[in-house]
Structure 1
Amino acid sequence: MAAGEFGGGVPAGAKTLLGHPRGLFLLFFAEMWERFSYYGMRAILVFYLTKHFLLGEKPAYAIYGAYTALVYITPVIGGAIADRYLGARRAVLAGGVFIAFGHLLIALVEGPEGAQGGYLTGFYMALAAIIVGTGFLKANISVLVGALYPRDDVRRDPAFSIFYMGINLGGFLGPILVGILGERVGWSWGFGAAGIGMLLGLVTFVLFQGDLHGAGAPRSREALKAPVLAGLSREWTTYLGAALGVLAIGWAIQYQDAIGMALIAFLILTIGYILVHAWRTLPRVEFQRILAALYLIALNPLFWALFEQQGSSLNVFTDQQVDRVILGWNVPASVFQSVNSIFIILFAPVFAGLWTFLNRRRLEPSAALKFGIGLILVGVGFFSVIWGAGTGRDGLTPAMFIILLFFFHTCAELCFSPVGLSSMTRLSLPRMTGLMMGTWFLTMAAGNFIAGQIAQATDAENRGVQGMLDVYGQIGWFSIGVGVVALVAAPFVTRLMHLETLGTPDHALAGESQLGENEAAGLDMRGELKPGR
C-alpha cells in the first residue's frame, strides 16, 4: 500500500513548487480541465438540443435535468469503486478517458441540423460516457490532493484553496470558450474544445503522475490483477462494467420521468432507513442530531432545483430576452454562465471573513439560519430578473439584472452548500458519515431533476415571456416563504444539534478559501469529498 494513500503525504525529499508537492499542480490542471468541460457542456447543452437537434424547450429541459441529476449520482458509485478496488489514481485516469471520449464523440458525430434518430441516440451515449467519467473522476481527485499531505500538515488547507481555484478557473473558462466556439463557430468546435481540454489534462496526468509518489494506489494490486470474469482481471472487468454502464445510462436518459421517479423513490427509502436505524440504535442526543441533519437534507433539493435554473430556463431567457450587447459586442448567452464562478472566487473569502468576524462576537448564525438566508436570497434573485424585465432597449432586459441574479444566487450558494456539506459530517456519527453524505448527494441529484421539471413549466414557447416571468415569481415567493419559515424554525433545529457538546463552533463554512470547519469536515465548496471521508 502506498504511503500517501490515506493522507500519509509524499516523501520528505519530494520536489516542491511554491512550497507544495508538484503533484498538487498536476491535480489542479486535471481538475481545471474537467470542470472546463462540465461547465462548458452545461452552458450550451440546452442550446445544442434546441438549435441543432431542433427539439422543443420542454424536452430539452427534461434531458438537461436528467443529465445533471445523474452527474451527482455517479460520484457516489465511483468513490465506492475506487475505495474498494481501483484506487483513486486509476479512477481519475479512467474518468478522464470516458469524459474526453464523450465530448469528442459529440464533436465528431454531430450530424446535420435537425437530425435525430441515430444521431440523437449517439448523443445520449456520449452524455452517458461523460456521466460515467464524472463519477470516476469527481469522487476521487480531491482524495488525491489530501493524500499528498500528512494529516497534521499546515499546508493542507492552503493546498485545497489552490485546488479549489482550479475548479472555479475551469468553471469560469468553460462557458466562455466552449460557449463562444459552440454558438458562434460551430457546435462541434465547442464540444471538441471541451474534449481536447480533457485530453490535455489526461496527457499531463499520465506524464507526471510520478509526482503523486504512489498516492491513490489500489488497496491490493494483487486483487486488482486477479482474473474474475472470462480471464479478465478485476481492473478490466471494472472498466467493462463502466462501459456497459454507459450503454445502460444512454438508454435510460431517454426516459427522464422514469429516472426521476426511481431517484425520488430511492431517496425516500434511504431517508426512511436512516430514520429507523437512528431511532433504534442511537442515544437521544445523537438521534436528535440526525433529525437536524435530515431537516437540512430536506431543504437541499429546493435550493438546487431553483439554483440550477441558471443552466436551463435562465440560459434560454438570457438568450432570448436579455440585451447582451456589451461594449459593442453581442455576448453569447452561454458566456453568462461564467459569472457564478467569478462571484464565487470574489466573495468566498468575504463570506469566510464575515462568519469569522461574527463568530468572534458570538453573533454568527447557525447552519439552520444560514439555510433560511440562502433560500431567501435565491428568491430575491428571481425578482431581480422580474423587476428588470423589458426595461432596456427594444423591450429587452438589461444584462445587469441577470448578473444581479447571479450575484444573489452566488451569495445563497455560499450560505447553503458548504454549510450543509460540513453539517453532514458534524452531525452524524463516523460510522454514518458516508451514508449521510451519499444522501446529501442524492438530494442534490433530486434537486437537479426537479430543476428540469420547473424549467419545463416556464415553457416560453407556449406561455410567452410573461408566462416565464410568472413562474419565476411563483418560485421566488415560494423560496422566500420557505426561507422565512426556516428562519423561524432555526432555533428549534439548532437545539436538536446540541452544538454545546460537539466541541467546535459553527463557523468557517463559507468556502474552500478559508481555514476551519469546512476543511476539518473534509469537504470542498462544490461537494468534493476530501481525504479521510
Structure 2
Amino acid sequence: MSKQSADPVPAETGVLSAPPPGEPFGHPKGLFVLFSTELWERFSFYSMRGILTLYMVNVLGAAGGHADQMYGAYLGFVYAATFGGGMLADRLLGQRRAIYIGGVLMALAQFTLATHSLLVRSGYSVRGLDPMFFSGLGLLACGNGFFKPNISTVVGTLYKPGDQRRDSAFTIFYMGINIGAFLAGFSGQIAETWGWYLGFLLAGMGMVASLVVFTAGLRQLSGKGLPPEGATLTEGRFGIPNAVLVVIGVLLFVPAAAFLISKPSYVQSMAVVIALIVLPYLLYEAFRGTREEAGRMLVIIILCCFSMLFWGFFELAGSTITRFTNEAVDRVVFGFELKASLLSQVINPLFIITLSIPFAGLWVWLDRRKLEPSSPVKFSLGLFQLGLGFFMLYIGAAQAASGGKAALIWLFLAYFFHTTGELCLSPVGLSMITKLAPARLVGMFMGVWFLSSALANVFAGRVGGMTEDHGFGAVFVGIAATTGAAALLLFVLSPLLKRMMHGIK
C-alpha cells in the first residue's frame, strides 16, 4: 500500500490543496466502508475456500484428484458469474442492490454448507445430502457474481476522473481483501480442529458482518451505486417484471451450476467449446479494426492466454497445494500442529501485505529512470516466479517421497515466489485492457478477461487431478516446466508485442 499524501494534487489544476474536511487519510469515508465490507466478504469467501477441498475428501469421500476438479469447476462458475452480475448492475439493479443480492445469497450458501456438515455429523447419509452441498456451492458462485465486480466498481465511482487518489484508493481496498483472506486462515484451523461446520458457520457470520457494515455506511457513499436512470424492477419484457426475471434467473442458475460442479468433466468439455467459439470471434473483431486496433487487440488475446496459465495454476493453492500440505508437509511448529487450511490461507496474504509497498515503490523507481518493464515483460516475470514456486513444491514433494515429510520451508518459499509473481502480473491485467481495447469493445474484453480466469480454473483443476495417477512431485515439476517455458516464450515475444501496442505502456 503506497503512502497517501495528505495534500493530493487535483488533476485539473496541478496545485496542492487540502483534502475536503472529514476525509480520513485524504480519502472519502465511503472508501473505508467498502474496505470493511470487502474485508468481511473475503473473510467469508476464503474461510470456506480453505476447507472446501479437504471437506470434499474427508467428508464427501471424494478422491483427491476428483475433489480438485470439482474445486476447479466451482471456481470457474465463480469467475464466469461476475460477467452477468456486472451487466445486471450496470443496466438494471445498480451496484448497491447487486451487492445486497450477492451478500444474501452467499450468506445463505455458507449456512447451507454448515447445515450439511451438521447433518452429516449427526449420521445422515452423505450421498443423500449431496444436492444440499452442491446447491451451497451454486449459491456461492451466483452470489459472488453479483457481489464481487460491483463493490470494486463503487470504489472507482467515489473519485472524479483524473483524481490522483484513485490508485492509492484501490491499494487500500486491495489491502482489505488480503487482511480478510489472512484472518480466514484461522477459521480453517478451528474447522479442522473442532468441526467442519464451524468453518462454514464462521464464513456465514463473516458475510452477515459484511452486509451489516455496508448497510451502516450507506450514507457515506454519496449516492454512488444507485440504479441507472430509467431502470425499473416493476416493468419488464413479455409483461414480466424485471424483478421476477432476476429471481427466475437465479433459480435457474443455482441448480444448473450445482449439477455441473458435481460433474466437472462436463464443465471441462463446455470450457473447450466456449474457448473454440470465443477465440475466433475475438480474432474477427481484431482484424476488422484499424491496424493499431488490431495490433492492440491481438496483444490482449495473447496476454489473456498467458494469464490463463498463471491464474489457473496459482489457484491450485486452494486444492492441490492444500492437499499436498495436508498429506506431505511437516506442519508441527514448536509442538503445535498448524492445519493445512490455515497455512494455505495465511501465507500468501501475509506476503502480499508485506511486499506490496516495496513492489509499488520499485515500479515507481524504475519508471522515473525509464527502466520500468513493459506489460508483456511483467507477465513473463510473473510466470517465471510462479514456475519457481512450483519447483520449490517439487523439492518438497521429492523430500516427502524419500521418506518422512517435506520441510515447511519449501511451502513458504513456494508461496513467496507465487506472491512476487502475483505482484508482477496482477496490477497489469485489467489496466492493460482499459488501455489497449478500443472504447467500443472495452466491456466485451473485460468480460473476456473474467471468462479467461473461469476457463483457467476449470482446466487447471484437471491438471491438479493428475496427482492421483502421477503423484504430487511429477505434477509440480510439470507445472514448473510449463510455466518456465511460457515465461521464456513470452519474454522472447515481448519486443514484438510492445511494437504491436503502438505506444501504450
Q: Which residue of 1 aligns with 2:168?
A: 158
Q: Which residue of 2 aligns with 1:488?
A: 492
Q: Which ranges of structure 1 fall in alignment gaps of 5 or more residues?
A: 1-11, 507-533
Shift, 1:229, TM fit: 7.1
Matching residue within 263, 276, 282 for 1:274: 282
Q: Which residue of 2 aligns with 1:169?
A: 179
Matching residue within 55, 58, 82 for 1:75: 82
Alignment of 1:83-482 (within 5 A): 83-110=90-117, 111-112=119-120, 115-174=125-184, 176-220=185-229, 223-226=232-235, 233-280=241-288, 282-337=289-344, 338-389=346-397, 391=399, 395-459=404-468, 463=470, 467-482=471-486
Shift, 1:340, TM fit: 0.9
Separation in structure 2 between the aligned mates of residue 490 and residue 191 of structure 1, nearest angstrom: 45
Separation in structure 2 between the aligned mates of residue 260 and residue 437 of structure 1, nearest angstrom: 22
Secondary structure of the 1:214 match is coil
Separation in structure 1 between the aligned mates of residue 27 and residue 360 of structure 2, nearest angstrom: 23
Q: Percent identity?
A: 38
Q: Which residue of 2 aligns with 1:531?
A: none
Q: Which residue of 1 aligns with 2:12?
A: none
- 1:53 and 1:115 in contact (8 A); partners too: no
One-letter amino acid of the structure 2 residue matched with residue 480 of structure 1: G
Deviation digits for residues 261-302 of structure 1 (CA, Å, limit 9, x no counterpart): 22232233222112112212x111221111111111121221
- 1:95 and 1:133 in contact (8 A); partners too: yes
Shift, 1:31, TM fit: 0.8
- 1:390 and 1:396 in contact (8 A); partners too: no
Deviation digits for residues 136-189 of structure 1 (CA, Å, limit 9, x no counterpart): 000100111222232243433332222111111111111x22201211111111
One-letter amino acid of the structure 1 residue matched with residue 375 of structure 2: A
One-letter amino acid of the structure 1 residue matched with residue 324 of structure 2: F
Distance change (3 Å), C-alpha of 1:182 and 1:115: farther
- 2:188 and 2:199 in contact (8 A); partners too: yes
Separation in structure 2 between the aligned mates of residue 52 and residue 396 of structure 1, nearest angstrom: 24
- 1:29 and 1:201 in contact (8 A); partners too: yes
Shift, 1:398, TM fit: 1.0
Q: Which residue of 2 aligns with 1:530?
A: none
One-letter amino acid of the structure 2 residue matched with residue 332 of structure 1: K
Separation in structure 2 between the aligned mates of residue 320 and residue 437 of structure 1, nearest angstrom: 38
Separation in structure 2 between the aligned mates of residue 439 and residue 299 of structure 1, nearest angstrom: 13
Shift, 1:362, TM fit: 2.3
- 1:85 and 1:235 in contact (8 A); partners too: no
Separation in structure 2 between the aligned mates of residue 253 and residue 385 of structure 1, nearest angstrom: 28
Separation in structure 1 between the aligned mates of residue 241 and residue 200 of structure 2, nearest angstrom: 33
Separation in structure 2 between the aligned mates of residue 335 and residue 427 of structure 1, nearest angstrom: 39
Deviation digits for residues 226-246 of structure 1 (CA, Å, limit 9, x no counterpart): 36577x642343134213321
- 2:380 and 2:488 in contact (8 A); partners too: yes
Shift, 1:412, TM fit: 1.2
Secondary structure of the 1:488 match is helix
Separation in structure 1 between the aligned mates of residue 194 and residue 165 of structure 2, nearest angstrom: 43
Distance change (3 Å), C-alpha of 1:223 and 1:200: same
Deviation digits for residues 198-248 of structure 1 (CA, Å, limit 9, x no counterpart): 011112222332222321111146622336577x64234313421332122
- 1:178 and 1:190 in contact (8 A); partners too: yes
Separation in structure 2 between the aligned mates of residue 394 and residue 478 of structure 1, nearest angstrom: 27
Distance change (3 Å), C-alpha of 1:406 and 1:130: same
- Report how many residues are paired: 482
One-letter amino acid of the structure 2 residue matched with residue 385 of structure 1: L
Deviation digits for residues 302-354 of structure 1 (CA, Å, limit 9, x no counterpart): 11222122111111111111111123210001111221111112212222222
Distance change (3 Å), C-alpha of 1:395 and 1:140: same
- 2:135 and 2:254 in contact (8 A); partners too: yes
Separation in structure 2 between the aligned mates of residue 77 and residue 308 of structure 1, nearest angstrom: 22
Separation in structure 2 between the aligned mates of residue 85 and residue 46 of structure 1, nearest angstrom: 36
Separation in structure 1 between the aligned mates of residue 399 and residue 466 of structure 2, nearest angstrom: 24
Q: Which ranges of structure 2 fall in alignment gaps of 5 or more residues?
A: 1-18
Distance change (3 Å), C-alpha of 1:365 and 1:161: closer
Separation in structure 1 between the aligned mates of residue 333 and residue 109 of structure 2, nearest angstrom: 34
Separation in structure 1 between the aligned mates of residue 361 and residue 51 of structure 2, nearest angstrom: 35
Matching residue within 65, 69, 72 for 1:62: 69
Question: TM-score normalized by structure 2?
Answer: 0.90
Matching residue within 470, 487, 497 for 2:501: 497
- 2:47 and 2:202 in contact (8 A); partners too: no
Shift, 1:14, TM fit: 8.7
Distance change (3 Å), C-alpha of 1:223 and 1:330: same
Secondary structure of the 2:224 match is coil
Shift, 1:15, TM fit: 5.4
Distance change (3 Å), C-alpha of 1:154 and 1:368: closer
Shift, 1:192, TM fit: 0.4
- 2:92 and 2:227 in contact (8 A); partners too: yes
Deviation digits for residues 424-445 of structure 1 (CA, Å, limit 9, x no counterpart): 2211111111111211111111
One-letter amino acid of the structure 1 residue matched with residue 228 of structure 2: R
Separation in structure 1 between the aligned mates of residue 248 and residue 271 of structure 2, nearest angstrom: 25
Distance change (3 Å), C-alpha of 1:22 and 1:240: farther
Question: Does residue 22 of the first structure (1) align with residue 21 of the second (2)?
Answer: no
Distance change (3 Å), C-alpha of 1:158 and 1:303: closer
